[in-house]
Structure 1
């Protein structure tokens, strides 16, 4: 699934880049083509006006000796076609050729038709024309002599050099662009793979969570069902006589309730349906109350729970969420500390900070796992976690609470020696 998505993302990015390259190349060439056309138009118009002024000064259309425009010498045509010079033709009121310099026989036929149209409309035209595989820009203008007789001047220039420049420009842009696209596709493929990695990891964690949650739910349901079957066979006995079966049912129901509550909390966190209700609270009392609650669990596991709590420490926070945070941390410390171990909870203050430390003598955390333990559904010791009823949700909730309170977090741990979680809050004590 992810390979297919990776290919799709890479292909989509490649198509977008290629389309952008084509649009960019076309835009650049079009801009240059327009600029060259405008420049040529100005040049031809200025040349036409210069010739018109000369013709009007002389009072005639026939002011230059006519060249042999019917010349068939191919070398002359090549000179014309490869030249950047501006050439012209003047037509009199009768449509006769009066003046010209260097004209192609095929071209003059095309120019004549155009000149008649301009003469009849007494207008001005600027257009492109291709004759004998040569591209031209042609400026055609009607004008009159002082005696009122009208004529037409046509000034033209080969645009082959412009086409050559534009073609070379397009080739260079496309070549560079394609090389860039290839490089960008490689980079895009790499980035797509990296961007999909968190999604893939999340997907794998969710698959694992579904399996774990199913297992966690199936186990208590199986136990509850088994206990109910036993009770159904002891209809004549009293509730007191069957207390252990009811206790088993209650315990497993409590496990399921805790799991469902954690799932609900995570769903609300994802949808931003819950937030911390911030107010000034006495952190000392919250920590003390949590330690009292958790001492029962510690005694059941033969673990010594110690607490050193500074008096009257004030912070800004949500009392319920802070209590939930400390329950999660202390519960984890007890859960991963072997029988006969110790868990120490400390509340210390500095001039502007209040620090909570939860330290245990448990299994510890490997260095590579320190950045992963707060990930949803992640568990360092999967077997132990399942045995203790955990599904890897508590620390995810704890991290959210820490972030909501803008608190700091530090983890110190050595494998098989124990761990210490230190959370720093901004103190509100004056």
Structure 2
């Protein structure tokens, strides 16, 4: 399950979806209009010629039945334009006669277009009474519409022959081809304009939402920042009172312990909200350093080892290759601590946590595998949503706030990476952090510099940041 991007990318995704919907609706309308226009033009351009050919074929068949075979098998000007009834201007038309076996009769001409007498159209007309098709008349004539009609014998018991009329439709085909090209070009230009215009309109439409989002993030950051001081003072006061526990009644001491616990929980929530608000708004300061991911993972494992010993959980490490990444060591270690913290909190007594680093498909990979309770499949799509917890009661007891994975996800996205979670209930969970590798020669020469090694182990710098993170 890929943990989705949140925060700043929200409006980019909305803008893209709005633009695609706009282009999709316009594209569907253009396709419907183009199809209707093309087939409408096809009907109005070709149907009169087809009706003309059919009418002429019946007229010549009637002349054949009347005994005027020579007139039935020749147009007024063989091989030349023949006037079509009801049409302005001449149309290139040919008239041919065939016997019942398909052999040409009088009216055949060596100057006929190639393909005019080819094929099985005559046999189809003998069997069905009439038939039609479109053939290629060669470079000089182009497309030709053919219509063949069977001429019955005098007693109507057999077929005497077939009259075939062909009309050139190349001019109409050229017009339809030009229309199709124009429709495709104009449609493409319209969709391109719709995409540009859709982006502009989506930006304008989302401007108020962006302003509201920015105000909300600023409010969360300001409120979280303001809450930290009174919570710290409240916790300090309670801890001072607890120093004189022997002079307090048992019930009062228990209440003070509760106050310290709850203020710690509220302080963790305030710190996490402040971190998320800064990540979403891009106000969080970010370093750009070359970091040895295995070293960063080792320091993270060392920091949670004492807590793991208390819970009888083994912490193991596996480091393969030499994955180096570019980023902020404080933020990346904060994300690693989130994953390790979850692996401990939702593990079993006597379980194990494995942290592994390697290179895969040109990316640096950090995996945190635990043998804990696992996550049901229906909850996986929601992991990373803020304040979402699989088991709210158990998460509350473990000190979880439901913001840890949201922070880890945002940190991964900030470093052009991805955070994925896979889990099998009652077997464990694997959290995978994938980051781009730093492979250029310029960065590789910096890997052995003391300042870089110091940046890869930011224990003292990270100590100033509260972690209090959980699933």
TM-score (norm 1): 0.45
Higher RCO structure, 1 or 2 (CA under 8 Å, sep 6+): 2
TM-score (norm 2): 0.42
